[in-house]
Structure 1
Amino acid sequence: MAKKEKKKPVRTAIVLFSLFLFIGALFLKAVNNGESGKEKFSQTFSKEEIPESLIPIYKEAAEEYEVSWELLAAVHRVETVFSTMDELESPAGAIGHTQFMPCTFIGWGYPGCEDEEKGNLDIPKSTLTDMSVINKYGGYGVDGNGNGRADPYDIEDAVYSTANYLAANGAADGKEKKAIFQYNQADWYVEEVLAYAEEYEKHYVAVKNKEYDLHN
């Protein structure tokens, strides 16, 4: 009597194929969630809306560094959707309300930064926010609220630091496009920031109903 054919290889193949499809679906879901994360938060604000509580900070920093306050608002909008993102740290290592790389904030002369291509060095917060260290190494961090420290997680310090950076890279001389490109060297980024800045210059709406913690 001939032996019956074994079905195990076929069943195993079906199970493996099903598992492959399941893992693939999970992967695609994760990728889509990552890509749509900022879009989800972006829907919190229409393109002309700006949180009312932030406008005085933008204007004060803009006056101090002779840049457009609408430009500061636009950078903040594009970077963290006015700080409404779940996390204020990017996968690349940028931190805070306006997404500074640590070495840019403290200064590229800081020990170890010269070995970091993108500047995402792990620097203790007590050192990162120390104005004497920032001044020593030529960083862009600014004490915007006058408490003696420059903290990228403090909204005033972050906005003033961004104003400082943009001004030093051309915005104070009318070279906004150049300054924005230095902030994030991607053409799409420059276009998006300029689009928001132009929108705010034409017409903006100050909104009161957006509540979030600006001081982590």
Structure 2
Amino acid sequence: MATKKKKPLLSPNAKIFLILLLIPIALMIYIFAFFSWQQIKGLPFFDEFTEKSVYQQIQEQFDLEIPIEYIPVYVSAEQKYGVPWTLLAAHHRVETRFSSLKKLESPVGAEGHMQFMPCTFVGWKHPSCKGLGQGEITEKEKTNPAVIQKYGGYGVDANGDGVADPYDIEDAVYSAANFLSRAGVKEGQIQKAVFQYNHSKKYVQDILHYYNLYTDYGDQLKQLALEEAK
């Protein structure tokens, strides 16, 4: 029994007409999508979202994130003392895990965000300074810029409040930068300066590890942090 041929739903002419009709529609959709995307990219939230994504991608390269609010402090100290901000960040990471420790005081008496021994902060010329450098220094003396200057210490009043406080993040970072600069960084002797900060080869290795790691992303992190701080 012969089967009846099915009639095509659309004739060849109708198919051609439909294709010609769809081409301008597709083109209009493409143009609309393109210009809409350009408009979206121009919105403030888009840049913010992109920047945060880049920042997060960089931070994922580290075992412990660098708190973005500290980077402008490191950068400011770098500008004053010539110590790379990434080196200061490395010290902060190793000394107190970016100040995340519950107690910012070591068993031997090092104090604050960047772990200064009191005699190093105030100055070894202080009459009580000997041994490991704990000294018998009153809190009033310890944070007095005039006393620090008198005894040749490294403590700095970074924020101009009349107090050089190792427990103040700005003062602590500036003091560390002051120490490292005078210990050799300003002459380009970074390894020597780090060893002066802590006489341990393992310590030097750890600091240089983080310093090199942070420096790989230093420019990007600096730009993102400074824009965030505006």
User: TM-score over 0.5 for the alignment?
Assistant: yes
Letter in 1 for 2:168: D
Segments of 5+ residues of structure 2 without an aligned counterpart are: 1-60, 222-230
Counterpart for residue 65 of structure 2: 49
Segments of 5+ residues of structure 1 without an aligned counterpart are: 1-44, 207-216
Counterpart for residue 182 of structure 2: 168
Aligned-residue identity in percent: 52
Shift of 1:124: 1.6
CA contact (8 A) 1:131 1:150 kept: yes
Q: 1:68 aligns with which of 60, 84, 92?
A: 84
- Pairwise mapping of residues 178-193 of structure 1 onto structure 2 (< 5 A)? 178-193=192-207
Count of aligned pairs? 160
Structure number with greater Rg is: 2
Q: 1:147 aligns with which of 161, 171, 183?
A: 161
Greater relative contact order (Cα < 8 A, sep 6+):
1
Taking the aligned partners of 1:191 and 1:50, their CA distance within structure 2 comes to 19
- Pairwise mapping of residues 93-172 of structure 1 onto structure 2 (< 5 A)? 93-113=109-129, 116-172=130-186
TM-score by length of 1: 0.71
Shift of 1:49: 2.6
Secondary structure of 2:170's aligned partner: helix
Counterpart for residue 77 of structure 1: 93
Shift of 1:165: 0.1
Q: 1:203 aligns with which of 211, 217, 221?
A: 217
In proportion to residue count, which structure has more helix? Answer: 2
Letter in 2 for 1:156: E
CA deviations 1:117-147 (Å, max 9, x no partner) are 1101242211100011000010000001110
RMSD after superposition: 1.5
Letter in 1 for 2:194: I
The alpha-carbon distance between structure 1 residues 48 and 201, as it changes in their structure 2 partners (threshold 3 A), is farther
TM-score by length of 2: 0.67
Taking the aligned partners of 1:196 and 1:190, their CA distance within structure 2 comes to 10
Letter in 1 for 2:82: E
Counterpart for residue 106 of structure 2: 90
CA contact (8 A) 1:47 1:199 kept: no
